[in-house]
Amino acid sequence: MIQIGDTLFLEIHKPGVAPLKYKCKVEHVGTDRLLVTYPTDLRTNKSEFFMVGTRFHGHFTTQDKMTYAFTTEMVDRKKDRLPLLVISYPGEQNLKKIQRREYVRVDTSIDVAIHPKDNHFSPFNTMTTDISAGGCAVSLPERHKLKAGMDVICWLVLPLKDRMHYSKQHAKVVRIIDGKDGKRDQAPLQFIDVSESDKQNFLRFCFEEQLRFKKKGLL
């Protein structure tokens, strides 16, 4: 199932905050252990140091495009030709097959203006933290008045390869993720009634971002 050379994505989940996301390469597959390269933060592309006992949610995609998830824990470090982490592995029989999202979502920052539909707050400008053809997550200013369930209007600027595309979307606030350790709150937004032409532009933008990340070695 999982093979040497596969990319393994790891996430650390903490209540009320966005998951911390990392990637690494599988260097060895054992019956109950994996040896992986030091995980790098997907946002900074820098290696992170983890303590023995750190728990992760891991997932990987096979060559036939099936995605599997499992929980894992760092159990040791190993020095081979390069520094490696030893993490637990539940075995193929305990992997969970997960459905791929309807739309590809990429972690990226683009300009977005958020306006109220019913004058519940003053409009503000901010940046996305991720985006797909079905919605986006945005960073929120201090003392914001957004609440889960609110309807908002989003004005987004998609920097496509050959042009800038300006998109106006009706969206609903899915929830508010409280910021921790000085970080800002975030709000995942679900787009409502996206036109087919806008959907294609979002899909194109996400595809171009993935290509850009791959060229930089971030995917």
Tens digit of each residue's pLDDT, the chain (219 residues): 899 999 999 999 887 677 788 999 999 999 999 999 999 988 788 888 899 999 999 988 887 767 889 999 999 999 878 899 999 999 988 998 876 555 678 899 999 999 998 888 999 999 999 999 889 999 999 889 999 999 999 999 999 988 999 999 999 999 999 887 778 899 999 998 888 788 889 988 998 888 887 777 765
**Superfamily designation of domain 7-98:** Electron Transport, Fmn-binding Protein; Chain A (2.30.110.10)
CATH hierarchy code of domain 111-215:
2.40.10.220
Return d(Cα 218, Cα 191) in angstroms, integer: 27
Domain coordinates in residue numbering, the chain: 7-98, 111-215
* Three-state DSSP string of the chain: CCCCCCEEEEEECCCCCCCEEEEEEEEEECCCEEEEECCEECCCCCECCCCCCCEEEEEEECCCCCEEEEEEEEEEEEECCCEEEEEECCCHHHCEEECCCCCCCECCCCEEEEEECCCCCCCEEEEEEEEECCEEEEECCCCCCCCCCCEEEEEEEEECCCCEEEEEEEEEECCCECCCCCCCCEEEEEEECCCHHHHHHHHHHHHHHHHHHHHCCCC
The confidence score (pLDDT) of residue 62 equals 82
The confidence score (pLDDT) of residue 43 equals 76
